[in-house]
Chains A and B, each alone.
Chain A
Amino acid sequence: MNPARKRTVRLVVALSAAVLLASALIYTSFSAASPALTPTQLVHEAQPGRSYELTGTVVKGSVHREGNVLDFAVADRVGGTSVPLSYTGVVPDPFREGREVIVNVEKQGDRYIGENNSLITKCPSKYKTAPPSENQNA
């Protein structure tokens, strides 16, 4: 095989390997991703056994701790539907009633369970809450 041809072959092999790896990456990212939903969407769309990323605000007066389990409800930013859930794991310092949180949840029966250690409080600044984004229902 002449050197030029050898190089082409090598390039083709390398490129196809890269393409294969990239498509594996892309495929798994779509299958492993948790859709980001608001409480209203979650109530309508959630299927048992699948993980969803729930974004909303913690409902005032809904936070109760029972041993290791933290129960609270998450509502749409503009009010309306709220989803009660049970969560175990680390609670970030800024977690408060009325704060915006992101938590991965799974539907089990008619209950929602927060995945261990998945709770994120979105805005760590106590005074400047981030303005609600325009595409919040996207």
Chain B
Amino acid sequence: MAGLGFACLVLALVVCVYGIGASLYGVRSGRPEYSESGRRSVYALAGVLSVAMLVLEIAFLGNDFAFNTVADTSSRTTPELYRAAAVWSSQEGSLLLWAWLMSLWSSLALFLTRRRLRDVAAYATAILLGFGGFFVALMVFYANPFATTHPAPPEGVGLDPLLRFPTMMIHPPMLYSGYTLCTIPFAFGMGALLARRVDADWIKAIRRFAFAAWLFLGIGILLGALWSYSELGWGGYWGWDAVENASLMPWLTGTAFLHSLMIQEKRGMLKVWNVSLVLATGTLAIMGTFLVRSGILDSIHAFGGHTLGVPFVCLIALMITGSIYLVVSRREMLRSEHRLDSLLSRESIFLANNLVLVGLCFVILWGTYFPLISEALTGQEASVGPPWFDRYTVPLALILVLLSGIGPVIAWRRATFANARRNFLAPLACGLLALAGLEIAGVTQKPLALVMFCFAAFVFGSVGQEFFRGTRARRAMASEPLPLALLSLVRRNRRRYGGYIVHIGIAVLFVGVAASSSFQHASQLSLRPGQSTRVGAYEIRYVRPTVTITPRYDEAHTGSTVSFGGLLDVTKNGHHVATLNPSEGFYASEEASQGSVGSLIGGQPVSHVAMDASLTRNVWTAIEPDIETPSLKRIITAGNNTLPPSEALVAIAYLARAYLQHPPPTQFNFLVSPLVFWIWIGGLIAGGGGLIAMWPAGGWAAYLVRRRVAVRSRARALRGLARA
């Protein structure tokens, strides 16, 4: 099996090399049949890598520990669901996932453009195959997922318990889809420059893919934040960690591009800017992959060794120099067809939004790579923390939200005073109303949060007004009932109204971020059973300790040996609110030196957070039970000395009894965060809006109808020809 997998990789490399040669030869010599063959190589690459992925997946599900990756990241005790996801928990497996997803998305992109953009697509094919070849070569020469050891070890070391969370199934594939989709606009942008076809056609062709990249990256980022909040014991959703930042940067430039491309389509302006954004997004996506895969910066996501740095640096250098050379050498072709008419126009608001987004990206880029920059300039490695990031990103985010409210209602070309009065009265009233309401409610201690709430209300007002006016116009025109009018309004202008829904979602998300970060109550303390503490308006009492012994089938089915927890009673003003049971799961380790009992629980402990979520607030609790206390440690040592591994589980029962009868003081971590749920709701709204905006016009039904009409008219034309 491993042989088959590796053969697939070698074949994939051959396919890439052939495909690059064929498509370049085809476009250079004007022989489209070769470019065609190059395009088919991408399909072939997708096929071959699918087989490779399947081989690896079968090895993981079948516990084939002869595979080094399986032995390193999976085990018989790892639940099946997580064994399937363990494929991408290793360096090697995630490179394969990257290459595989890239080949699939590229195939789709090239299939959809097969009748258009011949020259551009041929160059794009070569570039996409270049990326594919790069990743396949990394696997063939540096990190082979199909490396084996004989004889096979009887058991693997298991998937890191931190990764045993349902999101593990979707977060990495989503992020990787986002990253790989970013390379498609990059490839077509480069292709357009190389082929000197820089009109709006290539932009139209890749618009949907830029959107998809934006959507997948966004979903991946949010899922990561959700994972961090609901699994890791620190209760945060964003920490300005290098790997988080790496995924946010291409998303920001991608967002900028999705706005500025409209100006190129509508007015033929900003061509240099657009193509630069596309190239930057692709480069940032590869830089993100590099940052994650090389371990060059300190991060809580320490995935890999330091082996893949040099090839990636070469690739990134090539992408940057290639991009700059092409943009500079084609600058004459990229001249704007129009000039900015006025600073008060939708174009200039889009431009401002682009500048803010790119500025935000630059701030994050600088902060993320600061340890390297500082070391290069001063010889001293130094890093900047979250406060530094917040200082710049908070005001920029405020401006961004404000602009997202102005953009939809300001006129194209030149806004007049009458126009402004007509369009801005209602949104402004919403913002001021929110301000007044919040003043009365007494929410004035945090001015920045207050400003964010008012700006968000402004956005709701401006987008709501657009929906209201559009629906009213439709009702007047087609005399449809209200829901139908709203629906057909959105259906007929998917991009526009989908985009507006995204604005609503982002504003909602920022309300959640501002509220939960500014008005959070936190408490970390040690409690004995019966003791209680106050967190915000809530009284939390530690009722009693709990233990679950679950060698295979624990509640969340993550395969922990035992979890120690505490039962908490949450009340507000004497009224019962919730009963929560946070716990910490202890997992087996493969280190025999820890003893027969010690190795049953000596692996990575993982928090199982318990929370009571509602739309207005979230009571979040985590526990750090201390199993190092002398009374428990005595049992472990005694068990290690007397019990063989087959009977070691008995000691766990004693451990549980001792913990329940004489519970040690236990460390708790409590958070009460207002409106935090709205971050996820905002994300869902934005994602839904994104889907609406990128959905093919008219949907599949309309596509089929169009196709049938096309086939029929072609048949008719043929009949006509035959008759003639």
Across the interface, do B383 and A125 meet the contact criterion of CB distance under 8 Å?
no
Minimum CB–CB distance for A42 against chain B, Å:
13
Q: Restricting to A36-93, which residues have a CB under 8 Å from any CB of B?
A: 36, 53, 55, 63, 65, 67-68, 88-93
Partner of B298, one of A28, A55, A91: A55
Within the assembled complex, what's the spacing in Å between the Cα atoms of A138 and B391? 28
Known: A92-B234, A94-B604. 8 other contacts (CB 8 A): A25-B363, A34-B382, A88-B524, A90-B524, A124-B604, A127-B72, A133-B295, A138-B375
Within the assembled complex, what's the spacing in Å between the Cα atoms of A56 and B572? 43
Q: Which stretch, B195-203, B366-374, B705-713, touches the partner chain A?
A: B366-374
Across the interface, do B526 and A25 meet the contact criterion of CB distance under 8 Å?
no
By a beta-carbon cutoff of 8 Å, the part of chain A in contact with chain B is 3, 7, 21-22, 25-26, 28-30, 32-36, 53, 55, 63, 65, 67-68, 88-94, 102, 104, 117-118, 120-128, 130-131, 133-134, 138
- B235 closest partner in A (C-beta): A90
Can you identify 28 A-B contacts, CB atoms within 8 angstroms?
Answer: A21-B359, A25-B366, A25-B392, A28-B391, A30-B378, A30-B382, A32-B385, A32-B387, A33-B383, A35-B381, A35-B382, A36-B371, A53-B383, A55-B298, A65-B626, A65-B667, A68-B526, A88-B524, A90-B234, A91-B624, A92-B232, A93-B232, A93-B607, A125-B302, A126-B589, A127-B160, A130-B302, A138-B381
Residues of A close to B234: CB separation below 8 A: 90, 92, 117
Residues of A close to B382: CB separation below 8 A: 30, 33-36, 53
- A89 closest partner in B (C-beta): B524
Rank and list the top 9 A-B pairs by shortest CB-CB distance, nearest first: A33-B382, A36-B381, A90-B234, A35-B382, A126-B604, A127-B157, A123-B302, A32-B388, A33-B384
- A30 closest partner in B (C-beta): B374
Residues of B close to A89: CB separation below 8 A: 524
Across the interface, do A122 and B298 meet the contact criterion of CB distance under 8 Å?
yes
Minimum CB–CB distance for B275 against chain A, Å:
20
Across the interface, do A124 and B302 meet the contact criterion of CB distance under 8 Å?
yes
B590 on interface, CB distance cutoff 8 Å: yes
A122-B302 contact in complex given A21-B359, A91-B624, A94-B162, C-beta closer than 8 Å? yes
B421 on interface, CB distance cutoff 8 Å: no
B191 on interface, CB distance cutoff 8 Å: no
- B624 closest partner in A (C-beta): A91
B233 on interface, CB distance cutoff 8 Å: yes
Within the assembled complex, what's the spacing in Å between the Cα atoms of A4 and B388? 39
A29-B370 contact in complex given A126-B160, A127-B72, A133-B306, C-beta closer than 8 Å? yes
Partner of A32, one of B362, B384, B524: B384
Within the assembled complex, what's the spacing in Å between the Cα atoms of A20 and B526? 49
Q: Chain B 443-476 against A: per-residue CB contact (8 Å), 1 yes, 0 no?
A: 0000000000000000000000000000000000
Within the assembled complex, what's the spacing in Å between the Cα atoms of A90 and B524? 8
Q: Chain B 613-640 against A: per-residue CB contact (8 Å), 1 yes, 0 no?
A: 0000000000010101000000000000
- B590 closest partner in A (C-beta): A127
Residues of A close to B362: CB separation below 8 A: 22, 25
Q: B interface, how many residues as a size bin?
A: 35 or more
Residues of A close to B589: CB separation below 8 A: 126
Residues of B close to A7: CB separation below 8 A: 339
Minimum CB–CB distance for B556 against chain A, Å:
15
Across the interface, do A130 and B305 meet the contact criterion of CB distance under 8 Å?
yes
- B370 closest partner in A (C-beta): A29
Minimum CB–CB distance for B606 against chain A, Å:
5
- B296 closest partner in A (C-beta): A133
Across the interface, do A121 and B300 meet the contact criterion of CB distance under 8 Å?
yes
- A3 closest partner in B (C-beta): B339
Across the interface, do B367 and A128 meet the contact criterion of CB distance under 8 Å?
no
B689 on interface, CB distance cutoff 8 Å: no
Residues of B close to A131: CB separation below 8 A: 305-306
Across the interface, do A29 and B388 meet the contact criterion of CB distance under 8 Å?
yes
A92-B384 contact in complex given A36-B371, A122-B302, A124-B302, C-beta closer than 8 Å? no
Minimum CB–CB distance for A43 against chain B, Å:
16
Across the interface, do B305 and A93 meet the contact criterion of CB distance under 8 Å?
no
Residues of A close to B388: CB separation below 8 A: 28-29, 32-33
Within the assembled complex, what's the spacing in Å between the Cα atoms of A131 and B91? 14
Residues of A close to B525: CB separation below 8 A: 67-68
Within the assembled complex, what's the spacing in Å between the Cα atoms of A131 and B605? 22
B571 on interface, CB distance cutoff 8 Å: no
A93-B162 contact in complex given A123-B302, A128-B72, C-beta closer than 8 Å? yes
Q: Chain B 228-253 against A: per-residue CB contact (8 Å), 1 yes, 0 no?
A: 00001111000000000000000000
- A132 closest partner in B (C-beta): B306
Within the assembled complex, what's the spacing in Å between the Cα atoms of A124 and B388? 26
B380 on interface, CB distance cutoff 8 Å: yes
Within the assembled complex, what's the spacing in Å between the Cα atoms of A28 and B385? 12
Residues of B close to A21: CB separation below 8 A: 359
- B391 closest partner in A (C-beta): A28
- B156 closest partner in A (C-beta): A127
B603 on interface, CB distance cutoff 8 Å: yes
B669 on interface, CB distance cutoff 8 Å: yes
Residues of A close to B72: CB separation below 8 A: 127-128
Within the assembled complex, what's the spacing in Å between the Cα atoms of A131 and B384? 24
Within the assembled complex, what's the spacing in Å between the Cα atoms of A53 and B371? 11
Residues of B close to A121: CB separation below 8 A: 300
Within the assembled complex, what's the spacing in Å between the Cα atoms of A90 and B295? 24
Residues of B close to A123: CB separation below 8 A: 302
Q: Chain B 309-346 against A: per-residue CB contact (8 Å), 1 yes, 0 no?
A: 00000000000000000000000000000010000000
Residues of B close to A134: CB separation below 8 A: 306
Across the interface, do A92 and B624 meet the contact criterion of CB distance under 8 Å?
no
Across the interface, do A29 and B667 meet the contact criterion of CB distance under 8 Å?
no
Q: Chain B 287-307 against A: per-residue CB contact (8 Å), 1 yes, 0 no?
A: 000000001001011101110
Residues of A close to B233: CB separation below 8 A: 90-93
Residues of A close to B359: CB separation below 8 A: 21
Within the assembled complex, what's the spacing in Å between the Cα atoms of A57 and B440? 52
Within the assembled complex, what's the spacing in Å between the Cα atoms of A63 and B605? 16
